[in-house]
Amino acid sequence: MSYIQSLYPPEHTHCYGCGPANPAGLHVQTHWDGETGTCRYTPSAAHMAYPGVVYGGLIACLMDCHGIGTAIAAAYQAEGRPVGSDPAINMVTGNLSVTYKLPTPLGPELLLEARVKREFPRKMLISCELSAEGKVTAVGEILGVRLPS
């Protein structure tokens, strides 16, 4: 199945976090199964906070773009139409909060799982858990605000 960001309109594929067309970006990829958005990402040595631990700003970036990808997928689903169909649903981040519960180990693949927490006419509140080696190390909330089509 295509990842959500690959279905964004071409003019919106340059985001540093998730734009497939940004050569210097992180290329976050959100897979949506109708209930949960899943993203896997393996940080590089450059993404270090201190030896052995992932930089918290990277975690915030991953949650931001994965949260918005999940919000967009859920918004299309709520309208009963495929992601990417016209008119395009565009959202930006209105608010992002992250709680760092444990140091996130640098090396293993990270798993992000995002779900809709609350849905409003113009907003989608997404909760996101990030885990490494089966342990949740950070949780976050992302508010996606829908822009006029």
Assign 55 to helix, strand or coil: coil
Position among 2, 6, 12, 118 found at the interface with ligand PKZ (CB under 6 A)? 12
Q: How far is the CB of 149 from ligand PKZ (least distance, A)?
A: 9
User: Which runs of consecutive H residues, i.e. helices, occur in the chain?
Assistant: 56-78
Q: How far is the CB of 131 from ligand PKZ (least distance, A)?
A: 22
Position among 8, 32, 41, 76 found at the interface with ligand PKZ (CB under 6 A)? 8
CB 118 within 8 A of CB 141: no
Within 37-96, which residues bind ligand PKZ (CB under 6 A)?
64-65, 68, 90-95
CB 65 within 8 A of CB 128: no
Q: Which CB, 84 or 94, lies closer to ligand PKZ?
A: 94
Position among 123, 129, 136, 139 found at the interface with ligand PKZ (CB under 6 A)? 123
Contacts of 23 (CB under 8 A, 6+ apart): none
Q: Which CB, 79 or 133, lies closer to ligand PKZ?
A: 79
Distance CA 84, CA 136 (A): 32
Q: Which CB, 130 or 143, lies closer to ligand PKZ?
A: 143
In sign, the C-alpha dihedral spanning 94, 59, 23, 8 is negative
Looking at residue 106, the DSSP 8-state letter turns out to be S
Q: How far is the CB of 124 from ligand PKZ (least distance, A)?
A: 10
15 binds ligand PKZ (CB under 6 A): yes
CB 62 within 8 A of CB 96: no
Binding site for ligand PKZ (CB under 6 A): 8, 12, 15, 17-18, 64-65, 68, 90-95, 120, 122-123, 143, 145, 147
